[in-house]
Amino acid sequence: MGKYHADIRDINFNLFDVLKIQRLKQFGLEENDYKGIIEEYNKFVENEIFPSREPSDVHGVKMVNGNVKVAPELHTLQKNFHDNGWFALGFDADIGGTPVPEALYTSCMSLATGANCAWMMYPGLSRAAMNVIRLKGSDFMKTHIMPKMMSGEWGGTMCLTEPGAGSDVGALKSTAKPIAGGKYAIKGTKIFISSGESDLYSNNIHLVLARTPEGGEGTKGISLFVVPRFKVNDDGSLGGNNNVQCSKIEHKMGIHASATCEMQFGQTGETEGWLIGDEFEGMSTMFIMMNEARLYCGIQGESQANLAYLMADQYVRERVQFGKELIHHPDIRRNLFRMRAMSRGMRALCMYTADLFDKVHETGDHKYEGLIGLLTPICKAYCSEQGFQVAVEALQAHGGYGYCTEYGVEQFVRDTKIATIYEGTNGIQAIDFVMRKILKDGGKAITALSGEIIASVGSLDEAVFKKEKDLFGKVLMSAQATMQHLSGLAQKNQFNLVLQHCTDFLQFASQMVVAWRLMESAKIAQTKLSAATGDEKKYLESKIVDFKTYCAHYLIHNLSISKTITDYGDDVTALEL
Amino acid sequence: MGKYHADIRDINFNLFDVLKIQRLKQFGLEENDYKGIIEEYNKFVENEIFPSREPSDVHGVKMVNGNVKVAPELHTLQKNFHDNGWFALGFDADIGGTPVPEALYTSCMSLATGANCAWMMYPGLSRAAMNVIRLKGSDFMKTHIMPKMMSGEWGGTMCLTEPGAGSDVGALKSTAKPIAGGKYAIKGTKIFISSGESDLYSNNIHLVLARTPEGGEGTKGISLFVVPRFKVNDDGSLGGNNNVQCSKIEHKMGIHASATCEMQFGQTGETEGWLIGDEFEGMSTMFIMMNEARLYCGIQGESQANLAYLMADQYVRERVQFGKELIHHPDIRRNLFRMRAMSRGMRALCMYTADLFDKVHETGDHKYEGLIGLLTPICKAYCSEQGFQVAVEALQAHGGYGYCTEYGVEQFVRDTKIATIYEGTNGIQAIDFVMRKILKDGGKAITALSGEIIASVGSLDEAVFKKEKDLFGKVLMSAQATMQHLSGLAQKNQFNLVLQHCTDFLQFASQMVVAWRLMESAKIAQTKLSAATGDEKKYLESKIVDFKTYCAHYLIHNLSISKTITDYGDDVTALEL
């Protein structure tokens, strides 16, 4: 097993040099306080989370006498995570949290996720469920349920998918019938429920999508319910069995430590739940969790890519072949530069997006909300896809050892893959991106973003970045042509043609955005370079190289991707398959 | 678990319409005989090989009382494979084989490999070892060892890798000391030995690279030895323990049914072996196996991609979301077209390459040997890499079900990955391709190949393939520019720059070759189209679509890959990492 590594310098550069989170005075903390938090958090990741990664993968999740048991390591880890206050990080103080800038919270969560993605899904889902309860829950939920989740006694889940309703959530069949006390009887089967059941928690709080008697077909007839595994008495104490059962644990390619459950509600007796949010507003209420979960999928790719890259970096510095360390072989060295540029590029994107949440509060400017909407599918799809590909490259850099479980790198390949699928497949993300975030938006958000990128490219120093400036200029022109092409198709109602190009255009736009974020970093690094020495100078130079590498190996493909869309887009629905 | 599928029509099209193997009269068989062989072979694959795939993956390989045990299913399968004469397919009649054209043999082996890649490695390695013995072995080996391998009683392996000698074979430390009777005492540790030991065979014949006392450093001092697990008496009967031991079974990401062993020679007593081939000629003798093994890696990618694609095709025709089968959703449909074009493109490439072996015998023209040398790293690296990527896309098409083991599609992802690593990593292939097969060759083989492709593009019908002809023309121009750039660097001894571009140029060349093979198929399909009806017409149209899809989604990227090499190739060895 390779050692744990973290590129704290790059995280700090993003936080303090690029995003300047020290500007956010409402948290009452200074730059050094934030750096201290990251340092302490990272120690916890290195000493407690990373060591659990491989054993909890090997152990997996087991059904013992009808109860779901996770790896023993995870019990200690989970307890220490809460006891050390790390679960509370990023929550508001009024519920016992430690509020910090969103980008800082995201950096910490990324370190934890990279080190054991499968385990991190337990606290991650609890957090997402808590956020729904905070925003939409009743006083009872806030008083008697949320604190138990905050302390780690109870966990949370989101229950959307059913056997016949995957991407098509609106096809779900679960029902919710009003019963006494303003409650509902929930009945149905949910599948692929992460953290659906486990012995990490004494109770699970399921957020379940179901249809009330008046709920019509499709997504518009769906409402959201809070459904505990064990009933919660009026005084908040644990009540009796609520007839919620895990009927099956899925065997999966990866994230073995995460319990992916088939859940039965109301099959062995009545299952009680409470409506949360308004009736028929289930989808929009659930989207509070979904958007968070989608960004988090991006982090799953980004974080594991960054750790996999650093483990590959360690390996190629140690392994000698043909009389020198692998890192000195040009082909291997090229691959490492590619992996670094991509991993750091994804980090820059995810942290930038996280910071936009603070910008919304800071400025009240709606444009940041539009930008978050636009960047959510990019973070989700691009970082999960490319995070997987970096994991594959990291495995490859290890040669035969990488294919063996012993070095721990093949686990990244198996674990990252899920992020391209759940919380809306990457195909669904691409459709959301083009159809809703661009076309339905009337191009507002993307035009604003493009304007910013154009200005930024315009001020790029030609003396250092001549080739990159030329390339980016061409990419921006092809971006305009491609968007005109797509909106032209939409105006002619040729939506099949638009739909078949969504995946390509999402990749195009993602690479433009990641290149832009790396460019911003490179510019800042350049301004600081003359005053820097030693390791700091090497680090700043690496930021310039990252941008150049990304241009040469990724952004450059935008020139051909745009041609696929505009010049070679035969209508696939008109062709026999 | 999805059903087994095989695209027999496409295999036959390659064999009889493109390659015209019916021209090869020396086998005494007609087109219908060949078709019958494929049909029967495919029945065996469907009924006996494919059903073993998932259980043998779940069972894996176990060490029981110091002996390596494989899944029980594999014993029956192995016996039936030999009893039905399928192992003998492709061998010469003089050793009990059924000689057939190489492309036909390759098609059959591809069907078997797609259905259970991990198992197929046992007969695959036996076959490769037998080929070395046939060409270089002593009469004793041919009389007493080869027949036992042919019958399936004994198995074969190739033992190259050592802990400090992976890609760098020349660094190996195993020794061979002359002893009585013209034999050698072999001593050393080999790792990652596929089929290193198993209870499928009563004896294993290891082909072991080791250094004799006079053997100098590096690859030039290495010789090859035939080393049986149990001694072979002068009369061919099984002798005593030869002190060959499996000291460890590797735990791997995939190919769980294949025993990947750490092997000890001469650690517990003397291990006897015979020299095979001349002393110090071990590498070139081993390359008889290696080249075969490299082409076979390509088949591992190609075959699993084709089956994974067909299983995804089945799934998207059955799974309904948003009121219609997935196949009618443009984004999914696009993905299926891409997968089909790539899978069939790889098949066309591999079968074309296999047929070149018959062309060598048929014509005696050395140019075909050069072409085989050039296409070997292309088949190995491109088909293993893209086979993996198609497997990933097939998983993705299955959504959440694809990530679960139940549907059997994630196994393709885990199993295909190894082919990018063993028998020389894809990085090593890229270096072999550019440094040896192009530069050391003085560009002879690639110039001949390019000439053929240029002529073929020239005669492409503009009425049907206007856009593709334009694109291919641009690609050919950039091919020339890129090759000039690379040979210019070589002339200036800037080999670091050449080396860092090998992977990119191998991908570029591979895509040009695959597009060419799909183009040839499309041209032939077009000539037959007017006379065709029904399913045959649909099939022929699909061949035209495959070529267009491949151009629009893969070949088009050559335009940017070439720019990465010629315009954005900063020297990575000059940059700090």
Task: Using CB atoms, pick whichever of A253, A320, A541 lies closest to residue B413.
Answer: A253
**Which position among B423, B536, B541, B576 bears the catalytic label?**
B423
Sorted by sequence, the CB contacts under 8 Å of residue A295 that are 6+ apart come out as A350, A353, A354, A376, A379, A380
Q: Which residues on chain B are in Cβ contact (under 8 Å) with A325?
A: none
pLDDT attached to residue B556: 98
| Interchain contact, A337 vs B577, CB within 8 Å | yes
Chain B residues touching residue A499 (CB < 8 angstroms): 329-331
Q: Which of B164, B333, B570 sits opposite A577 (nearest CB)?
A: B333
Q: How confident is the model at residue B289 (pLDDT cuts 50, 70, 90)?
A: confident
Confidence at residue A243, expressed as pLDDT on a 0 to 100 scale: 98
d(CA B55, CA B49): 11
0.95 exceeded by pTM? yes
**CB proximity list for A565: less than 8 A, separation 6 or greater:** A482, A485, A486, A501, A504, A505, A508
- CB count within 10 Å of CB B75 equals 14
- Pick from B406, B471, B500: which is nearest to A333 by CB? B500
Q: What's the pLDDT score for residue A490?
A: 97
How close, in Å, is residue A96 to chain B by CA atoms?
A: 36
In whole angstroms, give the CA distance from residue A547 to residue A560: 20
CA angle A338, A339, A342 (to 5 degrees): 85
Beta strands A203-211 and A154-159, pairing class: parallel
* CB-CB contact of B42 with B8 (8 Å): yes
pLDDT at A1: 78
Express each pLDDT in B365-412 by its tens digit.
999 999 999 999 999 999 999 999 999 999 999 999 999 999 999 999
Min Cα distance B220 → chain A (Å) is 14
Residues B53-96 pLDDT 10s: 999 999 999 999 989 999 999 999 999 999 999 999 999 999 99
Which residues on chain B are in Cβ contact (under 8 Å) with A497? 330
From A69's Cα to the closest Cα of chain B, the distance in A is 19
Nearest to A394 by CA among A382, A408, A380, A379: A408
Residue ranges, chain A, pLDDT below 50: none
The C-alpha atoms of residue B392 and residue A385 are separated, in whole angstroms, by 10
State the complex-level ipTM: 0.97
For the residues B109-124, what does the mean pLDDT come to? Answer: 98
pLDDT at residue number A34: 98
> Closest to B496 (Cβ–Cβ): which among A330, A340, A573?
A330
**Chain A interface disruption, residue of B333, B417, B577, most A CBs within 10 A:** B577
The pLDDT of residue B303 is above 90:
yes
**Could you give the 3-state DSSP secondary structure of residue B158?**
strand
Evaluate whether B241 touches B224 at the Cβ level (below 8 Å). no
Predicted confidence at residue B288, as pLDDT, reads: 82
Beta strand B324-325 with A67-69 is unpaired
Domain at B8-134: CATH code:
1.10.540.10
Smallest CA–CA distance, residue A470 to chain B, in Å, is: 11
* Residues of chain A positioned with their CB less than 8 A from the CB of B191: 400
Residue B377 CA to residue B297 CA, distance in Å, equals 10
| DSSP 8-state assignment for residue B573 | G
Main-chain phi, psi angles of B263, to 5 degrees: -115, 135
pLDDT of residue B40: 98
Q: How confident is the model at residue B266 (pLDDT cuts 50, 70, 90)?
A: very high
Answer whether B221's CB lies under 8 Å from B215's CB: yes
Average pLDDT estimate for B194-217:
96
Residue B339 has pLDDT above 90, yes or no: yes
Nearest in space to A390 (alpha carbons), one of A430, A349, A340, A425: A340
Of B321, B538, B564, the CB nearest to A167: B321
C-alpha to C-alpha distance for B439 and A407, rounded to whole angstroms? 36
pLDDT of residue B38: 98
User: CB within 8 A of B358, min separation 6: which ones?
Assistant: B21, B24, B101, B102, B103
Contact check, Cβ <8 Å, B556/A560: yes
What is residue A180's predicted lDDT score, i.e. its pLDDT? Answer: 95
Q: Which residues in chain B touch residue A422, judged by CB atoms under 8 angstroms apart?
A: 400
Q: Residue A98: beta bridge partners?
A: A89
Give the pLDDT confidence score for residue B2 in this predicted structure: 85
Three-class DSSP category at B558: helix
Q: Contact B203/B226 with Cβ under 8 angstroms? A: no
Contacts A–B by Cβ distance under 8 A? 223
pLDDT at position B99 over 90: yes
Q: Which residues of B343-377 are buried (b: 16+ CB within 10 A; e: fewer)?
A: bbbbbbbbbbbbbbbbbbeeeeeeebebbbbbbbb
Output the pLDDT for position B291: 85
- Between CA A572 and CA A325 the distance in angstroms is 48
Q: What is the pLDDT of residue A502?
A: 98
Report pLDDT for B420.
98
Length of chain B: 577
- Report domain extents, chain B: 8-134, 154-280, 426-571
Structure letter (DSSP) for residue A390: H
The helix/strand/coil state of B531 is coil
Which alpha helices (H) appear in B364-494, and where do they start and end?
366-377, 383-397, 399-403, 410-416, 426-431, 444-458, 462-491
Is B560–A564 a contact, with Cβ atoms under 8 angstroms apart? no
Rounded CA separation B573/A305 (Å): 23
Question: Residue type for B472, please?
Answer: F
Q: CA A61, CA A251: separation in Å to the nearest integer?
A: 9
Tell me how far apart the alpha carbons of residues A73 and A55 are, in angstroms, rounded to a whole number.
8
For residue B390, list chain A residues with Cβ-Cβ distance below 8 A.
Answer: none
Catalytic annotation, pick one of A423, A452, A468, A520: A423
| B469 min Cα distance to partner chain A (Å) | 12
Contact A168 B541 (CB under 8 A): no
CATH of domain A154-280: 2.40.110.20
- Please give the Cα distance from A486 to A495 (Å, whole number): 9
pLDDT of residue B292: 85
Contact A399, B421 (CB under 8 A): yes
Catalytic residue check, A423: yes
Stretch (H or E) spanning A175: strand A175-178
A547 vs A338: CA distance, rounded Å: 10
Among B321, B464, B566, the residue to mutate for chain A (most A Cβ within 10 A) = B321
